[in-house]
Structure 1
Amino acid sequence: MTTYSVDLLIVGAGPVGLYGAYYAGVRGLKTAVIDSLSQLGGQITAMYPEKQIYDVAGYAAVKGRALVAELVQQAASADPMYILGQEAQELRTDAGGRHHVRTSGGDEIDCGAIVITAGIGTFTPRQLPAGEDFLGNGLEYFVPDPTTYTGTDVVIVGGGDSALDWALMLEKVANSVTVVHRRKAFRAHAATVAQVEESAVALVTDAEVSALVGNGSITHAEIAVKGSAELRRLPCQRVVAALGFIANLGPLREWGLELRDNRHIVVDSAMRTAVPGVYAAGDVVEYDGKVRLIAVGFGEVATAVNNAAVHLDPHQQLFPGHSTDQLPEPVTAPA
């Protein structure tokens, strides 16, 4: 067992957690960041690294992968310790108020304060019962690398933003893309739906995938269309099941936090949870008027880190000053 001793533990290495690591450096805090995924970036890295993101301040549009890379570079100035591929599990608080977090790898993190930025918990993809035998061999729930779909016939199952975003992305490299949705209307943004309708992507609505067929790898999908007694056969080699995800806070539910709907952590205006010294920010939190945007999460985690700094040392000021007030790096005169 390895024991890590830090000032601040950030649970979740997504965009909000990475910005929190940077801000902890502004406050001079020694910080560890833990994430159950083996890579930095959270859901963006896992689900849509190539997707364009339009609602981050300062960027007209930025790909998920590029945004994560910039956040990692920014956080590097704080020299955070990354503990990846491990889940934060048991929380114990000693008589002195120090927190001790046991990880799924059997390690322990000793810290003075915690900021939870774990998205909305652990995501389990909703299953496509028709094709589990092909999982990892033609059937996927994510599209981390669109180039692997080059020249293939792709069926995407679902009607939300991810389904249509991936359809537009894969249309550029695939031989054909067909979206199968069980309703007539799509749940995605109207502008995205309009883009798909104007593209070469084929849409099959009021329909469901009843089976995936092939010998070791997928050769076609059988589609049951409402009102038709005959199954429709769609030739394909790749299927993306974009059916949404089941959120689960996992072990965090046992930390004594106040939860709403068993999936969000209730916080106050200082991002404090019901547990002293534990703060939260980002999609995982709930309060009156909460808006779940990355941009909002950035502000929340700055608030959480600043309040955590005061919790660690009550003599500290809550407001650390503006970054523009920091002394510039010395300029070396040319020789």
Structure 2
Amino acid sequence: MDEPAPHPFSQLTPNLVQDALSALGLMGDGRLMPLNSYENRVYLAHLEPGTPLAAEHPAVVLKFYRPGRWSHAQIEEEHAFANELAAAEVPVVAPLAVGGRTLHQHGNFAFSLSPRRGGRTPELSDAEALEWIGRFIARLHTVGARQPFAHRPAVDIASYGIEPRHWLLTHHALPLEVERTWADISQEAIDLIAINQISTFNNNQFDIDKNSLSTLRLHADCHPGNILWTPTDRPGGGPHFVDLDDCRTGCAVQDLWMLLAGDRLERQRALGTLLDGYEQVRHFDRRELALIEALRTLRLIHYSAWLARRWDDPAFPAAFPSFGTPDYWRGQINILREQIEAMQAPPLVV
């Protein structure tokens, strides 16, 4: 049997990372630390004193994009959005321009540089912090609503539900003993979304119950791990985003629902606090609350397909050892059944 081809990231050695820096006229001092990232590869590199950028940024973060995932136009649009946000004083970590460009190529890899920025996961049980995050997301959305993306995709039923489900089934990613049950329950969930929740995506609008909802440029992957919090007694303290890699078009609620945890009452309280902050800056259309469980369901299907598609990357089996087992898929079947019930229940009201 032929040996599987090595994964593209196997070429990304420390020497290649240092060479990529050198190709930009930057000299690393040899210290290189891999940072936590599954989709891409991210490294903290320290610069030699006297090298360009070193006075202001003694250490930089290099992000090597997964080959074949995004086009250069899509990555450059992400960078332009980040820089537009930074220009509007929305706290995001935007890529650094070197030689007039933010996206660079070295060998087989597109990569970018950004400043090092630390922080911790915010305490979502802290009402003051949650309200602050609500204002923060509203500021991002105010900029996001200025113009549409030209190249980035949308959070919609096709790309988050129909296509990933089709991929999983046609690539036989599920064990036979659970494949039929998952296929049936996932189709039932998608049908329910299509009929009652998100029926179409067209001309930068969602149709929900045949009444259009506005869409805008989003972070789109706004879970607590993508928001870092720094002490508020320091300049620039509070929340900031460190990753716009998944930015897409969609409804504003997409950037809110992943910050809701706990039982229904706890989620409702958290949502109320988020919106208290959000609406200090920007109006929120309450009709979007009916999308929350549909968006949660689509993310479940999309996430399983994401893991399956990345299984040839050695980082994934090591990090997600239970994925792909019959028990994993039985768990997904049960969650989808719960989501079907949740989508049929009255939405959260604030």
- TM-score in terms of structure 1 length: 0.27
Larger strand proportion of the pair: 1
Q: Which has the larger radius of gyration?
A: 1
Larger helix proportion of the pair: 2
